[in-house]
Chains A and B, each alone.
Chain A
Amino acid sequence: DQQVKQNSPSLSVQEGRISILNCDYTNSMFDYFLWYKKYPAEGPTFLISISSIKDKNEDGRFTVFLNKSAKHLSLHIVPSQPGDSAVYFCAASYGSYQLTFGKGTKLSVIP
């Protein structure tokens, strides 16, 4: 039973446009959500996070939106750059213990 789902395995976006990566979860106990970025042959790199008491968190070009009633979160990247091409993982946690990850979305930003 997958508690965190990223339904799009891949996404292609033109450079300069907005990238929107989506994530759904089923466990209402999750109280914190994170996005990680992963390049080939490297470990995941923490990108941005949001607590369940908020609905938006912004950091530069990256914004995460949380819709608790829909159990849905999204990551917006504006403007997208070729260096953003990577696999993006959504993760969720409760109690600051283990993270539960989605399977990832491969983002390709086309110059």
Chain B
Amino acid sequence: GAGVSQSPSNKVTEKGKDVELRCDPISGHTALYWYRQSLGQGLEFLIYFQGNSAPDKSGLPSDRFSAERTGGSVSTLTIQRTQQEDSAVYLCASSRGQGFYEQYFGPGTRLTVT
């Protein structure tokens, strides 16, 4: 497809379980970003990848959150031992890379922790 895709679109999990969210960026985009949007809030930056490396992990809220990117393409965001406050929409975006400001977003994964 031409756009950013994310899976699953919805995920309901029990508190304490681990979850894995996937992002497939636009082909050729070297930069990839993860954000999350909690109810009534703006988008909160989590982590940024340039290629496979993550020069900026400053937004990850705790050490339960981790992300990786392989082959300069697909990225996974993993949340371990989920808590109710992790409930949010997790959005992935990609851009052409350094010097290109416009980021293009996927539809998001709605995570609900019960």
Contact = CB atoms under 8 A, between A and B. Distances in A.
A binds B: yes
A25 interface: no
B45 interface: yes
Interface of B: 4, 33, 35, 40-45, 48, 56, 59, 91, 93, 95, 98-108
A44 B48 CA distance: 17
Nearest to A93: B101
B102 A49 contact: yes
A44 B101 contact: no
A55 to B, nearest CB: 17
A66 to B, nearest CB: 14
Give 5 nearest A-B pairs by CB, closest first: A43-B105, A101-B42, A98-B45, A101-B43, A103-B42
A57 interface: no
A4 B59 CA distance: 16
Contacts of B95: 96
A103 B38 CA distance: 10
Given A98-B33, A98-B48, A44 B102 contact: no
Question: Size range of the interface on A?
Answer: 20 to 34
Contact of A97 (B40, B48, B106, B108): B48
Interface in A69-102: 89, 91, 93, 96-102
Nearest to B108: A43
A49 B26 CA distance: 20
Identify which of A32, A36, A96, A104 gathers the most chain B CB atoms within 10 Å of its CB: A96
Contact of A89 (B33, B43, B56, B98): B43
Contacts of B44: 101
A4 B4 CA distance: 25
25 contacts: A32-B101, A34-B102, A41-B107, A42-B108, A43-B91, A43-B105, A43-B106, A43-B108, A44-B43, A44-B91, A44-B105, A45-B105, A46-B105, A49-B101, A89-B43, A91-B43, A96-B98, A96-B100, A96-B101, A98-B33, A98-B56, A99-B33, A99-B45, A101-B35, A101-B42
Interface string A51-75: 0000000000000000000000000
